[in-house]
């Protein structure tokens, strides 16, 4: 294979990323997060800890960057915010963006992270050998490495609330947001038992469920009638699009995807926060 060949394949893959690239999808799970109503309350993050068996690492390890928060709230101070601090910071919930052309996948030496037919970046924990290439290649920095065997020291009554539908990861394994795949799996089993496909709104991620302002909408972006697809369409954000965040033409169209310019095709659309220009 020549270098030219590689480039051609690459561009072909990129060009029809909208149609799924070389993947054949049954579903393509996606999200829309309205930053305008996000209050930065961290309920999503807390719900994620409870749902996904995430260990609380403590201050010291947090400072070393060993926190395991699959969902974190990022805080930004714009210049104007600094000038008028009473306006408060801007918040942005950040988790795995389940990229359509994920940079984490091709670098895994053992193929423990791969793309599923429902458009998720899977992480097969028992396959993972902990090389950490994937996290180093992730532009969003949303992959977390287990530096310790937390299950051994899980605080006493809390081990009773571990979720049996998802494994408790051991030391040496990479992990990240899964879009609550265990809930998708349960809904899928239920739907298949009733000979139908998963209905819109049947699967809700823990973060979406916990959000008090309803900022997070989750659903199948391949189903044009799902709530999330309608939001994507309304804000003119498309799969495979390079730059949805065009120069402001319309105040209503606030949708964008983070690092779209890297063309990783994230599955999460954010709706920009509306703030008075000062």
Partner 1 sequence: MFYKHVCKLVLPPVLMFVSMLLMSGAPARAELAAPPGVTPPVGTYAGADVAQPIEFPHDIHVNVNKINCMYCHTYARRSKVAGIPPTSKCMGCHKMIATDKPRIQKLTEYFEKRESPKWKKVHDVPDFVHFSHERHVKKFVFDADLPVENVEQVCGLCHGEIKAMTVAKKNKPLTMGFCQRCHEANGGPGDCWKCHK
Residues that bind partner 1 (CB under 8 A): 114, 116-117, 120, 122, 124-127, 164-168, 181-182, 185, 189, 192-193
Member of 5, 126, 195, 225 binding ligand HEC (CB under 6 A):
126
- Shortest CB 20 distance to partner 1, Å: 15
CB 250 within 8 A of CB 268: no
Q: Which is nearer to partner 1, 1 or 193 (CB)?
A: 193
- Shortest CB 175 distance to ligand HEC, Å: 15
- Shortest CB 124 distance to partner 1, Å: 5
Place of tokens 């298949």: 192
Told to check if 188 binds ligand HEC by CB under 6 A, we report yes
Told to check if 146 binds ligand HEC by CB under 6 A, we report no
Told to check if 171 binds ligand HEC by CB under 6 A, we report no
- Shortest CB 151 distance to ligand HEC, Å: 15
- Shortest CB 114 distance to ligand HEC, Å: 7
Task: Name which of ligand HEC, partner 1, none residue 87 binds, using a CB cut-off of 5 to 8 Å depending on partner kind.
Answer: none
Told to check if 151 binds ligand HEC by CB under 6 A, we report no
- Shortest CB 117 distance to partner 1, Å: 6
Place of tokens 């010291």: 60
- Shortest CB 168 distance to partner 1, Å: 8
Q: Which is nearer to partner 1, 82 or 192 (CB)?
A: 192
3-class secondary structure per residue, the chain: CCHHHHHHHHHHHHHCCCCCCCCCCCCCEEEEEECCCCCCCCHHHHHHHHHCCCCCCCHHHHHCCCCCCCCEEEEECCHHHHHCHHHCCEEEEECCCCCCCCCCCCCCCCCCEEECCCCCEEECCCCCCCCCHHHHCCCCCCCEECCCCHHHHCCHHHHHHCCCCCCCCCCCCEECCCCCHHHHHHHHHHHHHCCCCCCCCCCCCHHHHHCCCCCEEEEECCCCCCHHHHHHHHCCCCCCCCCCCCCCCCCCCCEECCCHHHCCCCCEEEECCCCCCC
Q: How far apart are CA 142 and CA 119, in angstroms?
A: 17
Q: Which is nearer to partner 1, 34 or 52 (CB)?
A: 52
> Which of 33-41, 186-194, 216-224, 261-269 is the region at the interface with ligand HEC (rule: CB under 6 A)?
186-194
How many other CB atoms are found less than 10 A from the CB of residue 165? 14
- x/- binding map, residues 190-209, to ligand HEC, per CB under 6 A? --x-----------------
Per CB under 6 A, residues contacting ligand HEC are 124, 126-127, 188-189, 192
């Amino acid at each position: 294979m020549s270098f030219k060949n590689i480039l051609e394949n690459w561009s072909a893959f990129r060009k029809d990323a909208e149609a799924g690239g070389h993947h054949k999808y049954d579903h393509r799970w996606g999200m829309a997060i309205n930053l305008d109503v996000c209050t930065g309350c961290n309920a999503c993050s807390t719900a994620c800890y409870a749902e996904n068996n995430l260990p609380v690492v403590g201050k010291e390890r947090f400072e070393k960057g060993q926190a395991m928060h699959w969902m974190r709230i990022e805080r930004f101070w714009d210049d104007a915010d600094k000038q008028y601090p009473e306006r408060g910071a801007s918040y942005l919930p950040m988790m795995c963006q389940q990229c359509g052309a994920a940079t984490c996948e091709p670098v895994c030496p053992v193929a423990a992270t791969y793309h599923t037919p429902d458009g998720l970046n899977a992480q097969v924990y028992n396959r993972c050998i902990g090389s950490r290439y994937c996290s180093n290649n992730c532009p969003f920095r949303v992959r977390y490495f287990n530096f310790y065997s937390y299950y051994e020291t899980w605080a006493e009554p809390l081990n009773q609330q571990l979720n049996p539908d998802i494994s408790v990861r051991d030391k040496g394994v990479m992990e990240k947001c899964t879009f609550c795949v265990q809930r998708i799996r349960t809904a899928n089993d239920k739907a298949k038992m009733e000979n139908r496909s998963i209905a819109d709104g049947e699967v809700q991620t823990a973060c979406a469920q916990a959000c008090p302002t309803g900022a997070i909408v989750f659903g199948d972006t391949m189903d044009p009638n799902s709530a999330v697809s309608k939001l994507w369409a309304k804000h003119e954000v498309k799969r495979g699009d390079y730059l949805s965040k065009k120069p402001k033409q319309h105040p209503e169209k606030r949708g964008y995807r983070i690092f779209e310019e890297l063309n990783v095709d994230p599955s999460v659309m954010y709706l920009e926060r509306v703030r008075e220009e000062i």
